[in-house]
Amino acid sequence: MSNYPPEITPSEGERLTEVVKDWALAHGLTVRPPPAVIAAEADPAGILATAVPVTLFPSPFPKVCFDQGVAVQKAYNELYASISQDEEFLAQVVKEIGDSDDFITELWKVHLRVKEEGYVQHKSLGLFRSDYMVHQDGTGSGPQIKQVEFNTIASSFGGLSSQTSSLHKYLSSVEYPLLENSIKRGTLELPENGSAAGLASGIKQAFIEYGPSSTSHRKCVIFLVQGGERNIFDQRHLEYELQQSEEPLIPVFRLPFSEILQHTAIAEGSGRQLLYRPPQLPSHTFEVAVIYMRSGYGPSDYPDQSAWEARYHLERSAAIKCPTVLTQVAGTKKVQQVLATPETPSNPSVLSRYLSKNSASIADLANTFTNIYPLDDTEAGLKARKIAVDPELCKGYVLKPQREGGGNNIYRSNIPPFLKSVPESHWPSYILMELITPPPVRNTILRNGKLEQGGVICELGIYGTCIWDQKSKVILHNERAGYLLRTKGDQSEEGGVAAGFGCMDSCNLV
Ligand code: ADP
Ligand code: MG
Ligand code: MG
């Protein structure tokens, strides 16, 4: 389909705007409005929601690339479960990041403190998302996906993503056939997308794996959140999916990170069960089976030492953490760089340590890597430093600190002046990554009720859920869980939907 997405007339644009706006509000494809937009007096009770930015059409996405991402997800789940079990490797990574990164240093201290007294919970839950862009080089070989990053904490948008797929499916059967450049019903290839149900099912499995309550209290799941979260409906969709389950009934509570110490306690005795008293239901106490973190991934959640105490308090408890500190550290960009470092005769690939030698997955995973370099004083690091400070060479690269949540990277010609402002002893806490430049795609984005037409860049995320035992090293659950397509204007460097630059999308496989 060469003329896809089709040109639309202004009046068709108006009609689609009406239809999409209403569908989004009616189905919770929404976020809370930014406080600056809603004057406090207009919404004192916080009852308003606003439609999430979306594309009018599912973006064309190469089917081979989609299939490639789907095919490697379970191997990725297994890989990151194995890395989480390798404390020695992670300790080395933390050492290489260095103590100039206070956040990672403090995080690691939490693990060391708990290790000293001994963990009481060995099971661990990962709700992962591996992110990719399409890469096409000039060699005439077909398109491939290259990994942007692998998320092990607060992998978001799974709740909104399945809704976006439903929206595009609805439009393709009801609206696209009516356009002047009509798209016949059934001609788009829209993959199934069970992201919300899939992620919820991972949480449910962990709830079951926790076993029966060992206090007299009922079990619950805690969603550990940030105060004033705007992307709340994404999280609510997971919660509602979880509560679809009749057996077992799963009570879910949202607890702000800043209130952990106020509302939770560790039971007396050696079991260290985490007890939660919902402030609005003072006569109830629950035993927390699973803590699903949608916060705690960056320094802003840890304004003072008591926030670190709170994280320690959770980490030492018997609740199953999603993620543990170890799994959070496994998700750093530094780990991704180490994994992507090619094998040399003197330096066997780190991948082969975690996946059985002759397994096809080693090659399949390695095919998704692009070049990533350290900025340390190894040979590769010194070479990368030269690139990073060169005003011409740096144009093909992005510099990344060990941070999550968008808005932290430094791009292209901003890299040399940035590095100049950082003491050289701190450079090893960054990695330098080749920019992936996907082939151009056009689409129309509906944002804040207005249409923006033009070139877009798409980023595919594949979700996976995994439960493993840190001690016995057994994987108890390993599943794929739908996908995310996030799209941004081709002029924007960052693509986070919550950060305000990107939008929700779904795939039309071509
Ligand atoms: P975060 O953990 O903050 O989301 P990412 O590594 O995903 O960090 O980077 C944020 C965004 O920057 C990505 O969503 C993508 O749009 C862009 N980006 C990151 N790495 C690359 C890359 N190698 N090539 C092209 N764009 C990239
Ligand atoms: Mg990330
Ligand atoms: Mg990202």
**Assigned domain for 362 exists:** yes
Contact by Cβ (8 Å): 290, 222: yes
Residues labelled catalytic: 129, 149, 151, 156, 333, 400, 404-405, 486
The residue whose CB lies within 8 Å of the most ligand 1 atoms, and thus the one to mutate among 132, 398, 504, is 398
Q: Give CA–CA dist 422/415, Å, rounded.
A: 11
**Strand partners for 443:** 454
- Amino acid letter, residue 422: V
The encoded tokens of residue 503 equal: 């939008």
**Assigned domain for 332 exists:** yes
**Strand partners for 254:** 223
Name the residue with tokens 């904490």.
153
Ligand nearest to the Cα of 492, by number: 1
Please tell me the distance between residue 362's alpha carbon and the centre of ligand 1 in angstroms: 23
113 is in an annotated binding site: no
Does the beta carbon of 433 sit less than 6 angstroms from any atom of ligand 1? yes
Task: Provide the domain count of the chain.
Answer: 1
Q: How confident is the prediction for the chain on average, in pLDDT? A: 95
Q: Give CA–CA dist 71/73, Å, rounded.
A: 6
Contact by Cβ (8 Å): 151, 465: no
Quote the radius of gyration of the chain (alpha carbons, Å): 23
Q: Using CB atoms within 10 A of its CB, is residue 325 exposed (0-12), middle (13-18) or buried (19+)?
A: buried
pLDDT classification of 44: cutoffs 50, 70, 90: confident
Q: Give CA–CA dist 104/128, Å, rounded.
A: 20
395 is in an annotated binding site: no
Say what the pLDDT of residue 246 is: 80
**Assigned domain for 448 exists:** no
Provide the CATH number for the domain around residue 119.
Answer: 3.40.50.1760
Say what the pLDDT of residue 26 is: 98
**Assigned domain for 181 exists:** no
**Assigned domain for 2 exists:** no
How crowded is the C-beta side of 507, counted as CA atoms within 13 Å? 25
Q: Give CA–CA dist 423/420, Å, rounded.
A: 7
Q: Following CA atoms 84, 372, 462, 69 in sequence, which dihedral angle do they give, to the nearest 10 degrees?
A: -110
Q: Is the pLDDT of residue 500 over 80?
A: no
Structure confidence by residue, pLDDT tens digits, 466-491: 999 999 999 999 999 999 999 998 88
Contact by Cβ (8 Å): 217, 287: yes
pTM reported for the whole predicted model:
0.97
Kindly give, in sequence order, each residue whose CB lies less than 8 Å from that of residue 371, ignoring residues fewer than 6 positions away.
Answer: 340, 433, 434
409 is in an annotated binding site: yes
Structural element, H or E, at residue 220: strand 218-225
Q: Is the pLDDT of residue 196 over 80?
A: yes
φ, ψ of residue 189 in degrees (nearest 5): -105, 100
Q: In ligand 1, which atom is closest to the CA atom of 406?
A: 3
Please tell me the distance between residue 431's alpha carbon and the centre of ligand 2 in angstroms: 14
Say what the pLDDT of residue 468 is: 98
Nearest CA to ligand 1 atom 19: 148
**Assigned domain for 177 exists:** no
Q: Give CA–CA dist 68/369, Å, rounded.
A: 13
Domain that holds residue 289: 59-158+191-370+436-443+455-509
Structure confidence by residue, pLDDT tens digits, 209-234: 999 999 999 999 999 999 999 999 99
Q: Is the pLDDT of residue 65 over 80?
A: yes
| ipTM above 0.90 for this complex | yes
Please report, for residues 68, 142, 267, 269, 493, the alpha-carbon distance to residue 434 in angstroms, rounded to integers and kept in the order given: 20, 19, 49, 52, 14
Please tell me the distance between residue 241's alpha carbon and the centre of ligand 1 in angstroms: 29
Return residues with CB closer than 5 A to ligand 2 (ion): 149, 151, 404
**Assigned domain for 140 exists:** yes
**Assigned domain for 3 exists:** no
The encoded tokens of residue 398 equal: 């992005």
Q: Give CA–CA dist 11/349, Å, rounded.
A: 57
Structure confidence by residue, pLDDT tens digits, 93-115: 999 999 999 999 999 999 999 99
pLDDT classification of 357: cutoffs 50, 70, 90: low
Taking the CA atoms of 309, 311, 315 and 319 in sequence, report the sign of the dihedral they define. Answer: positive
Contact by Cβ (8 Å): 207, 248: yes
